[in-house]
A and B are shown apart, each in its own frame.
Chain A
Amino acid sequence: MVCEMETDQIEEMDVEVLPSMWPDDVGTEADKQFNVEKSAGDLDMLKEVDIAEKSAMADLKRLPELMNTTDQGTSQLTNLVKQWEYMQDHAVRLLREELQILTKQREEAEAKELKIIEEHNFESQEPENVPVLDETSDLFRRFRQKKRDKLVDSKKIEIDEEFDTIAYWKQKALSLGKMLEASTERERRLMEKLNESLKTMESHSAPVEELTQNLKRAEGFLHFILQNAPIVMGHQDKDLRYLFIYNKFPSLREQDILGKTDVEIFHGGGVKESQDFKREVLEKGKASKREITFETELFGSKTFLIYVEPVYNKAKETIGINYMGMEVTDQVRKREKMAKLREDNAVRKAMESELTKTIHITEETMRAKQMLATMSHEIRSPLSGVVGMAEILSTTKLDKEQRQLLNVMISSGDLVLQLINDILDLSKVESGVMKLEATKFRPREVVKHVLQTAAASLKKDLTLEGDITDAVPIEVVGDVLRIRQILTNLISNAIKFTHEGKVGIKLKVISEPSFACDNALNGDEEVQNGLTETSVWIRCDVYDSGIGIPGKLAVYLNALPCLFKKYMQASADHARKYGGTGLGLAICKQLVELMGGQLTVTSQVNVGSTFTFILPYKVATSDDHSDDQDEFSDMVDHQPEPDDTTEGYFQFKPLLGSIYSNGGPVIGNNFLPHKVMVTSPIKLINGFVAHPSDDIEQSETVQVENGGYTDESRLKNSSGHCLGSAHQYENGNGRCLSKESESCSSSQASSEGGTVEMESEFTVSSHREEEKAERDLKETSKPKILLVEDNKINIMVAKSMMKQLGYTIDIANNGVEAITAVERSSYDLVLMDVCMPVMDGLKATRLIRSYEESGNWDAAIEAGIDIKTMEDEQVCMRPTNRLPIIAMTANTLAESSEECFANGMDSFISKPVTLQKLKECLQQYLH
């Protein structure tokens, strides 16, 4: 039962070949129907269409019954009968009309005959044997023939004979007689015909033949219309069993369909739905349409638009449904495609607008960041001026109130400066501007100093400990300043949130972590100072027994990523209580990541937190340790302590009470950086002070500590040292730490019920100590500073700045003069211009370093400098101490700094020199 549907059909706009509803290759050839040659819609086809009853399947027993019992069925029959009756009526009317005419003619003819008879009465006796018969018979024959054609004949009688002769009349009489005869005959025949007609009419009383013809024609018409249409039609009874189906699926046989329901015939998606739909129509009694997609094994996925109408019998009872389904799979597909396209389009548009928005936001953010960085920078310079001035102001004579105000001002200014520095650091890291320096340093010392520094400003009863495993190399290469920054940040953070117990740093070597495998390659290219290097991964845990990070485990896991977000503190409450900008951790994380490491945190509420960062370092395999006074050890260890290099465990205890004492008697000497101070940090190692010190006060302090903090006044002594050392490291390591601890301490004070006054009281006292210390220092020993600079104006400015900072300086105008000066007297610091006439700063530095190494000025003499002093004098003066030389360069690019370092300089100040830079530098290098 394959319908050939390969007709071109015009659909919407485009012409396309419509695939047949049912597949072609199903069913047998014999089953094929409607095998009509394409006859281009000629109406003649109607006759040719051989209505194949096979096209449809019907339950022949019940369908006629259905036709008789339903309105639809009867109406058609009634129509046909009416039509037939009408036709019959028409035929009868025509016959009657004919009959009437004939009757009229006969009457006329009779009347004429009578008249003739009356007129020619006398001739009636005329002999009838007139030999004219032959001719008249001929005529009569002709007449009869005529009569056949014409219903009404001409009333003229043609007579050949001469008028009014006997023969004439004879002939006339004869012909009239014949006419009469013929007329009678015709009448008789018409009567016969009429009878016959009536007879046939009777026999046609059951017009089956005609009706069948009509029916066939109607059906043919339907077939003609429907043969190519993708339409399935059917009738189902009220149990939804098929009674009739047209254009069923080719492979199904009669017994597969008739008497069965959809569900019984088909399986798969949509079948149930259509069944339910039909039932619904059946119940509601209202025709309706629905689109149903079938997903059957039999014909795959097809969508039908189904029209179902209920069928009633004459008693208006529902007896079943008619249903018609049109296959609209392609249309649906197309429609869905369109919808999808439209949807995609909408989505794309939305995405586009989203993207534009994002781009816009990104641009805005970039701009905001840029502005922030610029603004921060712009703010920093004047602010550092403000703070610097305030600090200078604090060294002048002030009354108590003024000092209080000033101290508040300084600490607020410092806080803002710190914040701005943080912001700048962050934006530097983010924009990729920040460059990492590679310097050799000793991790043990770094840890020790970070802890020392923290301990010095500690105001809680906390134990600070450091634990470094033996596997950690003595010296590694990395950006020590950044690493210190991270450690300091983490430690001060840990201290901030810990009220009792301990805070510590643990260092150990680990194998290369998985995340770093790719990064590791990049770092290996650099080779420093010609040393062979291998990489080592060191894991650093900064742990505390603090409040932990709030929330239960699940919550804390969520809070952790936040913790590293900029400015974000664990919660608003904590921010208020503990203060701080919240930038610290963000910077740490960024720095660690910048160095190719990873920063993580684990925490348990009220038990503590551990911040862990793992970083790669290069191991410098230097064959000569004693010679190698790197930058960092320089800062603290002018007298090398043998145990320090390998010492793996440190512990620091706070010295409580010190901060509230109002300036002990012995604070002074050790307060500001100078050489004696180097040995002052207090170190408790398992209760034993392993600190070689020739300072009597120092050893006293130690005893006091061992004795368990009994003597109040001595405690003050020790606190003095403590504070002093704290300051030393604060100064040595930039502002970062000191500010952190300051803000920590002040917020600590206020959070513990202290008022603002109390806070400022504290600051005042500590600053007073500072002041006193500074004055004492100035009187006793002033550091000797040499400025090597050729520009008069620069000299003037630098000199004035130094004066402001409380130092006097010697001047050398070029490298040669510098060497001469260094050779003649000992300096604590040299500020060296790089670009100078006669001899530049780099060469001068090289020569000075060469002297430090060899103990003689041979290299300088070789370079043509006149050295007059006796050699033995120099040798015994300071053969091993390294003179800090700070470059002053107009060029602040990293390359230039590397050049400075390569030539033996310790650090550099970018020009123009400012009070702030100078101050930081002096604090760092003058011990």
Chain B
Amino acid sequence: SKNSEEIALFFVYQTSHLLLSASSSRVHTAMDSLIAQLQRQFRDYTISLYHQGFLDDQFTELKKLQDECSPDFVAEVVSLFFEDCEKLISNMARALDQTVNVDYKLVGSSVHQLKGSSSSVGAKRVKGLCVTFKECCDSQNYEGCVRCLQQVDIEYKSLKAKLQDLFNLEQQIVQAGGRIPQ
């Protein structure tokens, strides 16, 4: 059975390899070098974002939804997300600013919102923090909440910057007449 699993693995690998090589060959024949370079940069950058845990598959899902009818879909959703973040974070900061009688329920529901949103856009790190944050809220751990809030703040801002870079790259590719690699 071990062998056969290896065979299966090999098969999977082969297939994916074939798919990959097919797509990459097309890229090389169709695009000029500048676009290719930009695209490579874009891909590498995207991959690095995945690798560093900023993004997960859900972001890929978002990108799937972007088509001719809604060419800026990802950017729209993402900017909505960041607005949401800003609002929720300031809400939570206000709630946590109270030294007495912190409304953990309010904070909790905001965290839940944030978790849902981040999960939807594939903001993996923010989502992960939200899980911890929620736990802190549930246990009414004030220090934990504050710490989480700070981290969330940092995390969403850095993600925002990264995505901004990504969108800039995207724009450059489009301006150069290339296609955004999926």
Contact = CB atoms under 8 A, between A and B. Distances in A.
A902 B113 CA distance: 25
Contact of B8 (A382, A423, A790, A804): A423
A794 B5 contact: no
Nearest to A423: B8
Contact of A566 (B4, B67, B112): B4
B38 to A, nearest CB: 22
Interface string A372-388: 10011001011101101
A379 B120 contact: no
A709 interface: no
B156 to A, nearest CB: 13
Contacts of A416: 12, 15-16
| Majority-rule SS of B interface residues | helix
Interface in B91-126: 109, 112-113, 115-117, 119-122
Contacts of A69: none
A896 interface: no
Contacts of A567: 1, 4-5, 7-8
B77 interface: yes
B84 A419 contact: no
B159 interface: no
Interface stretch (A48-56, A106-114, A661-669, A911-919): A911-919
Interface residues of A, number: 46
Contact of B64 (A369, A372, A915): A915
Interface stretch (A178-186, A477-485, A724-732, A795-803): A795-803
B112 A389 contact: no
B30 to A, nearest CB: 15
Contacts of B58: 912, 914
Contacts of A419: 8, 11-12
Contacts of A381: 57, 60
Contacts of A369: 5
Nearest to A389: B64
Nearest to B68: A396
Nearest to A393: B67
A837 interface: yes
Contacts of A383: 16
A800 B62 CA distance: 9
A911 B65 CA distance: 16
A772 interface: no
A365 B3 CA distance: 10
Contacts of A797: 61-62, 65, 77, 120-121
A793 B8 contact: no
A581 interface: yes
Given A381-B60, A800-B65, A804-B67, A389 B122 contact: no
Interface centre among B60, B64, B81, B121 (most CB of A within 10 A): B64
Contacts of A379: 12, 16
A174 interface: no
Interface in A556-596: 565-568, 581-583
Given A376-B12, A794-B116, A804-B64, 12 more contacts: A369-B5, A383-B16, A385-B60, A385-B64, A386-B19, A566-B1, A790-B113, A791-B120, A793-B121, A796-B80, A804-B65, A912-B61
Interface of B: 1-2, 4-9, 11-12, 15-16, 19, 57-58, 60-62, 64-65, 67, 69-70, 73, 76-77, 80-81, 84, 109, 112-113, 115-117, 119-122, 182
14 contacts: A371-B9, A381-B60, A567-B1, A790-B116, A794-B116, A796-B77, A797-B120, A800-B77, A804-B64, A804-B67, A911-B120, A912-B58, A913-B120, A914-B57
